[in-house]
Copies of this chain bind each other. A is one copy, B any other.
Amino acid sequence: MTDIQQYLEKLRAGDKLALSRVLTHVENNTPEGIFALETLFPQTGRAHMIGITGSPGTGKSTLVNSLAMHLRKKPESPRIAIIAVDPSSPYSGGALLGDRVRMRDLHGDRGIFIRSMASRGALGGLSHRTAALAQVLDAAGFEIILIETVGAGQSEVEIASLAHTVIVVEAPGMGDEIQAIKAGILEIANILVVNKADRPGVENSTRALRAMLQMAHPGDYMPMARKHLFNALESPTTAPEQSQETEIWMPPVVQTIATEGNGLDELMQAIEDHLAYLKRGQGWAMRDKENLALEMEGLIREHLTQRWLAQMPEARLEEVMLALQQRKISPHQALEKLLTYN
């Protein structure tokens, strides 16, 4: 624990090696990692988190690199962190290789930090770990955090939706991919990018996306426990002149050629517009509330379940589970039998 305290001090001073070590502890959920998250928590809630997602082949990684370099050129030269949820095999160490390739692109800019995350074995826990890494980077003073995910699976949707601003990337002429984009991802998009805009079919893709946007409407599903926690959080009172409750954000469709930097200014403008929109209304605070409710829900569930299982005699548990296995009782009956023990 003394080591981690030293790392945390160095991290605050901008030491990237110390930051990497803290992130590794947090990613592996070690006691030091939990301690780090706890210690850093008061400094969180400030970074603008931007999720970028899309199918493989859309040039998403190049776009993220290009966007990071463009953002750095802004007058205030914000410090930028990239979390790349890496598609490589969880077990082959692909994430490390990816890191090196990308590090080379952004080489020499001390204001950009890249972290790849393998998706190894973290079924169900990937979005939780991503959120934790983002918290550390937020506390470390990065003003903008780009969270890059691949694919349009439900987990990717979850990860992207941790962010304040979600950018969905498409490319022309990927007929099948347009289907993939429909898998719940259009509903969470705040900005749509048609990358590789020098390819044929760019206008068709743009038109198709605009048409699909007309049909999409965001879902607001939240499990009961999380909703309960969410509702317990305070909503900021909006000043009268700001109370544009009815203002609706229409996701713009931006065309880019990331390899040449084309369209990046328009994309940055769209990001700034969305940020301004969030801050005008309650969008910024809502995202924070959602993330806090999600985090507390996870902690409470995990703690209650482990505490409860720990005090359950093994013999009793085995007896009930055996009856379940033999189909003598149903899952709900098994739950009841276990509950009446307490």
- Chain B residue numbers with a CB within 8 Å of A223 are 124-125
Given A221-B122, A223-B124, A327-B44, CB of A89 within 8 Å of CB of B333: no
Assess the B151–A225 pair: CB atoms within 8 A: no
Who on chain B is nearest to A304 by CB? B304
Interface membership of A241, Cβ < 8 A: no
Contacting residues, chain B, for A120 (C-beta < 8 A): 184, 219, 221
Which residues of chain B are near A55, meaning CB under 8 Å?
Answer: 176, 180
Whether A170 is near chain B, meaning CB under 8 Å from some CB there, is no
Q: Is the CB of A182 within 8 A of B234?
A: no
The answer, yes or no, to whether A26 is at the interface (CB within 8 Å) is no
Main secondary structure on chain A at its contact with chain B?
helix
Instruction: List chain B residues, Cβ under 8 A from A56.
Output: 176-177, 179-180
The segment from A70-78, A105-113, A291-299 that touches chain B is A291-299
- Binary flags per residue of A67-93, CB closer than 8 Å to B gives 1, else 0: 000000000000000000001111110
- Which B residues lie within 8 Å of A212 (CB)? 89
Stretch at the interface among A17-25, A200-208, A263-271, A334-342: A334-342
A38–B324 alpha-carbon span in the complex (Å): 11
